[in-house]
């Protein structure tokens, strides 16, 4: 009984790590652009498809497919960023919703159009279980955990010390003043967006061996999972997003085991609505900013 | 002297009445001229018009961006479906009940949601749709879960000894048209009233409106409920037209379609919503000839809308309106 709970919590932490890597990109994009990116899950899908394509069509190894997937998604994100996202600076919230929904439709349906809408089998990754302290865990899940920690340590350092990180914080605090002191706001938006999309695709590739199936509509589900996380973490808050993703991952895993699998996909928004009544500005932000 | 100045202006023909006459004739004659498929597309457009009017009151006039319309649309559809299947009530009872139930459920949902700021409010309203779908999937004793409610009868009326049913596509078109005309007139009367001006005041500057004595909280809550009632009535039409209601009625795609109608047609404009629902729903129904490319084309349409028609079709409608001699 007790060990089942611990096992579910560990599974939840792995799921939370996957969500965290996707959500942190989304929350950073919100920070600089003030727009919810409804297309963010599609980059997760593109990453998975890139890796699947590299393994199935090009015959590459799983490690090489990670590189192919992240690079190809980065290229797509750069094009989308140049054509759409950097022009969204200062646009009203409604325009952001419509534009990102449009991008989501285009990306998702182009992939379905090219590769077909059916489920595909993902053949790469390390799915051998290993035993740690009496709990057996697939190697891939351990990789996900380690990568997630590295990504967040890296982001924390980047946001605090690097030029881009400082520019990002500046833009998220005051766009007008950034223009005054000579920060190229559209450029910061573009870089943040490409970084976020690359992280989402990385998350997609890492999760693919655990999920096994690959299909065109998978991005939408991830978008809906990460939306409550970024609000709960406090929009634009990197560390808060990490904690919120972990809470949600664990909650989902426990609900799926003890209440019913069919309620798993509702946990996020149900938690969100309850939380918003109590702390409308997010769990980990000291004051409401958006 | 001033009389001669305005003289050329006054001599311009006022074409509003002829235009209205043409519109009425076209609306009435459409199913007789077009094929059955055109009529079907028009019915779908009319079904989405009422929820879009409700959303327009919320987004266009009061300035609250909401994605909850699909939730209330689904509640309305299930209310009408359950009443029709279990109690066999006539159509107008279902219609009123769907509006009332959706509006009533919007009250407890709106009280916490409307306290939130912009982005959190959007997410909270999106949550209503997701949770609505989960409830409709899992409350199997009431909704029959994923199987959905099927066998909803075609709308029938019972007026004293007289009772008749609407079975054909063409006659359903006239029914939907009648409901939509009434709904449009209600929305129009509302925004032209002092209440409509107060709503615009809240959109433009909520703090200022509050300080001028507009009870902003009560207004926002009532508009939220009204928009839900509009969506519920649309849901009732949907249930009776398709004769099936499934949990897929609660999907974000419907919410975004309604948002696209409002923003694409021109937020804060009744004629924009009417035109938008014909254009964006009728058109996508017509695009079904190329199903694989349809959604890609739709996505590009959204980007075109965002970048080239920032205010939707409203400026075009205004220019047309001025050209035919209408005043504000």
- Write down the ipTM of this complex: 0.82
Per-residue pLDDT of chain A (290 residues; tens, 9 = 90+): 677 888 888 888 988 999 999 999 898 888 888 888 888 999 999 999 888 888 888 888 888 888 999 999 999 999 998 888 888 887 888 888 888 988 998 998 898 888 877 788 877 777 777 777 767 777 888 888 888 899 999 988 988 898 888 888 888 888 888 888 888 888 888 988 999 999 999 998 888 888 778 888 888 888 888 888 988 888 778 888 899 899 999 998 888 888 877 788 888 888 888 888 887 777 776 665 55
Question: Pick from A110, A269, A281: which is nearest to B296 by CB?
Answer: A110
How large is the greatest C-alpha to C-alpha distance in chain A, in angstroms?
A: 61
Report chain B residues whose CB lies below 8 A from the CB of A95. 306, 310
Cβ-defined contact of A113 to B296 (cutoff 8 Å): yes
First-last CA distance in chain B = 25
In whole angstroms, give the CA distance from residue A159 to residue A170: 11
Question: Can you list the alpha helix ranges (DSSP code H) found in A212-288?
Answer: 218-232, 238-258, 267-278
CA distances in angstroms from A151 to A205, B215, B302, listed in the order given: 15, 48, 34
Q: Which residues contact B154 (CB under 8 A, 6 or more apart)?
A: B165, B166, B167, B172, B240, B243
Contacts 24+ apart (CB under 8 A), A125-133: A125/A62, A125/A208, A125/A209, A125/A210, A126/A62, A126/A209, A127/A209, A127/A210
Q: Is B154 helix (H, G, I), strand (E, B) or coil?
A: coil
Which residue has tokens 């990504």? A151
CA-based nearest residue in chain B for residue A92: B310
Question: Pick from B123, B134, B303: which is nearest to A228 by CB?
Answer: B123
- Can you state the angle between helices A185-211 and A40-56, rounded to 10 degrees? 50
Q: Is B159 helix (H, G, I), strand (E, B) or coil?
A: strand
Tokens of A52: 């699947």
A224 CB within 8 Å of a chain B CB: yes
Minimal CA separation from A232 to chain B, in Å: 9
B300 CB within 8 Å of a chain A CB: yes
Report chain B residues whose CB lies below 8 A from the CB of A99. 302-303, 306-307
Residues B42-97 have pLDDT tens digits of 888 888 999 999 999 888 888 888 888 999 999 999 998 888 888 878 878 888 89
Which residues 153-212 in chain B show a CB within 8 A of chain A?
none
CATH number of A2-278: 1.10.3470
In whole angstroms, give the CA distance from residue A238 to residue A46: 23
Cβ-defined contact of A266 to B115 (cutoff 8 Å): no
A116 CB within 8 Å of a chain B CB: no
Cβ-defined contact of B119 to A98 (cutoff 8 Å): no
Cβ-defined contact of B302 to A108 (cutoff 8 Å): no
A112 backbone dihedrals φ, ψ, rounded to 5°? -65, -40
B248 CB within 8 Å of a chain A CB: no
Please say whether the beta carbons of A19 and A230 come within 8 A: no
pTM: 0.85
In whole angstroms, give the CA distance from residue B137 to residue A286: 37
Cβ-defined contact of B116 to A108 (cutoff 8 Å): no
Report chain B residues whose CB lies below 8 A from the CB of A29. none
In whole angstroms, give the CA distance from residue B236 to residue B245: 10
Tokens of A81: 């960023």
In whole angstroms, give the CA distance from residue A104 to residue B299: 8
Mutation target for A interface from B114, B119, B139, B313: give the one with most A CBs within 10 A.
B119
Which residue has tokens 């509302």? B190
């Amino acid at each position: 009984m007790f060990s089942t709970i611990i096992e579910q919590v560990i599974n939840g932490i792995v799921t939370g790590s996957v969500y965290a890597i996707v959500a942190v990109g989304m929350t950073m994009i919100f920070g600089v652009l003030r727009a919810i990116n409804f297309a963010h899950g599609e980059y997760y899908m593109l990453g998975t498809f890139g890796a699947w394509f590299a393994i199935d069509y090009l015959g590459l190894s799983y490690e090489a497919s990670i590189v192919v997937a992240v690079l190809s998604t980065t290229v797509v994100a750069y094009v989308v960023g140049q054509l759409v996202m950097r022009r969204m600076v200062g646009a009203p919230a409604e325009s952001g919703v419509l534009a990102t929904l449009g991008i989501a439709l285009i990306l998702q349906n182009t992939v379905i159009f090219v590769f077909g809408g059916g489920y595909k089998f993902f053949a790469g990754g390390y799915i051998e279980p290993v035993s740690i302290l009496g709990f057996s865990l697939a190697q891939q899940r351990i990789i996900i955990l380690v990568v997630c920690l590295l990504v967040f340590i890296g982001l924390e350092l980047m946001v605090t010390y690097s030029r881009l990180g400082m520019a990002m914080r500046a833009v998220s605090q005051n766009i007008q003043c950034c223009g005054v002191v000579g920060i190229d706001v559209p450029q910061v938006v573009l870089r943040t967006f490409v970084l976020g999309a690359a992280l989402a695709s990385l998350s997609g590739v890492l999760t693919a061996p655990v999920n096994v199936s690959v299909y065109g509509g998978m991005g939408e589900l991830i978008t809906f999972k990460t939306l409550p996380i970024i609000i709960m973490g406090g929009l634009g808050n990197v560390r808060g997003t990490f904690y919120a993703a972990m809470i949600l991952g664990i909650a989902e895993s426990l609900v799926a085991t003890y209440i019913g699998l069919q309620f798993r996909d509702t946990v996020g928004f149900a938690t969100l609505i309850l939380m918003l009544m109590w702390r409308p500005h997010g769990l980990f932000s000291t004051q409401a900013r958006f | 002297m001033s009389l001669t100045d305005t003289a050329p202006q006054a001599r311009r023909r006022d074409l509003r009445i002829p235009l209205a006459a043409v519109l009425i004739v076209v609306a009435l004659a459409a199913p007789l001229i077009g094929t059955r498929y055109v009529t079907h597309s028009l019915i779908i457009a009319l079904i989405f018009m009422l929820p879009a009017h409700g959303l327009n009151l919320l987004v266009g006039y009061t300035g609250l961006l909401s994605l909850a319309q699909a939730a209330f649309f689904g509640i309305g559809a299930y209310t009408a479906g359950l009443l029709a299947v279990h109690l066999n009530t006539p159509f107008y009872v279902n219609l009123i009940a769907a509006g009332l139930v959706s509006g009533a459920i919007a009250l407890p949902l709106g009280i916490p949601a409307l306290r939130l700021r912009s982005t959190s409010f959007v997410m909270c309203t999106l949550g209503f749709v997701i949770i609505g779908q989960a409830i409709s999937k899992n409350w199997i004793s009431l909704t029959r879960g994923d199987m959905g409610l099927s066998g909803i009868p075609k709308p029938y009326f019972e007026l004293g000894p007289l009772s008749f049913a609407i079975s054909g596509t063409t006659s359903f078109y006239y029914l939907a048209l009648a409901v939509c005309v009434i709904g449009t007139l209600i929305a129009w009367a509302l925004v032209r009233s002092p209440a409509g001006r107060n709503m615009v005041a809240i959109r433009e500057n909520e703090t200022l409106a509050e300080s001028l004595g507009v009870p902003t909280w009560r207004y926002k809550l009532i508009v939220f409920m009204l928009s839900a009632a509009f969506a519920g009535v649309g849901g009732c039409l949907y249930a009776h037209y398709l004769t099936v209601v499934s949990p897929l009625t609660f999907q974000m795609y419907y919410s975004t379609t309604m948002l696209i109608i409002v923003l694409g047609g021109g937020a804060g404009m009744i004629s924009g919503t009417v035109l938008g629902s014909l254009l964006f729903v009728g058109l996508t129904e017509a695009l079904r000839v190329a199903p694989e490319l349809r959604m890609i084309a739709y996505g590009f349409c959204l980007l075109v809308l965002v970048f080239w028609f920032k205010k939707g079709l409203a400026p075009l409608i205004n220019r047309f309106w001025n050209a035919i001699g209408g005043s504000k």
